[in-house]
Structures are given as structure tokens and as C-alpha cells.
Amino acid sequence: MNRNAEKTRYSDEELEEFKAIIEEKLNTARQQLQFYLDQLSEMADNPDAKIKALDDGIGTAESERLSSLAGRQRKHIQHLENALVRIQNKVYGICRVTGKLISKERLRAVPHATLSIEAKQKQHS
């Protein structure tokens, strides 16, 4: 193999490293989602919260905030699960625009990234 050739995919060892990072983030994200869902459930089951909500609307605002956070967390979990599928298919870390490898630094910071910094900057310019 030509050592000077540009690498087109991460090695199985590198993919394992990213898989561990993603699984840890998934675990945390699922715990956070469960927390939001528990809070929503508690608010729904607590009659005092309903009366308070009628008085000042705070309960409704808090419920909407928790629902929004839960929705965002679900999307984040889906992105992380999709990243695990890309690892399984050995296409993880490849920019969907340029076809080049996304930097390890970027993937460590945003493990579900599908765009290199170069492609992301072009999108916003």
C-alpha cells in the first residue's frame, strides 16, 4: 500500500475509539432524556402544579420548555445512533460533501458530524 496515498477511511481501531465515545454520549443523552420525561410526567401527575399553572402560566411554560428539551435530546440520540450505523458500515468520519476524512479533533468534539469544517464553512458562506 502506498503510504503517501490519502487515507480514505478510519481504521477499525480508530472506529472502535469513536464507537466508545459515541456510546458514552448516547448513555448520557438517554439519561438526560429520561430526566426530562420524568419531570414532564411528574408535572402532569401533580394537581398542585396544574392549579399553579392556571394562576401564573409558569407550569405551562416549564412544560413547554421540558418538551422542547426532550425533543432536541431525541434528535441528538438519533444522530448518535446514525453515527454508530456509519461506524458499523465503515463509512464513519467521511464528509458527505467532500468525501474526505473529517478531522479526529472535530469528531471527538462532535462525534455525529457528517461534514468537515471545510464543507460546513462553505454551507454558511
Interatomic CA distance for residues 84 and 79, integer angstroms:
9
Residue 3: what pLDDT? 46
Mean pLDDT of 102-113: 96
The ranges assigned to domains in the chain are 12-92, 93-125
Model's pTM, two decimal places? Answer: 0.82
Cell 454558511 sits on residue: 124
User: Is the pLDDT confidence value at 93 over 70?
Assistant: yes
56-63: long-range contacts, CB 8 A cutoff, minimum separation 24: none
Element (H, E) at 47: helix 47-56
Q: How confident is the model at residue 4 (pLDDT cuts 50, 70, 90)?
A: very low
The pLDDT mean for the chain works out to 87
Share of the chain above pLDDT 70, in %: 85
Residue 13: what pLDDT? 97
Handedness of CA 116, 79, 22, 83 (dihedral sign): negative
Residue 48: what pLDDT? 63
Element (H, E) at 57: none
| Paired residues of 94 in beta bridges | 101
Model confidence pLDDT, tens digit, residues 16-65: 999 999 999 999 999 999 999 999 888 777 766 555 555 556 677 888 99
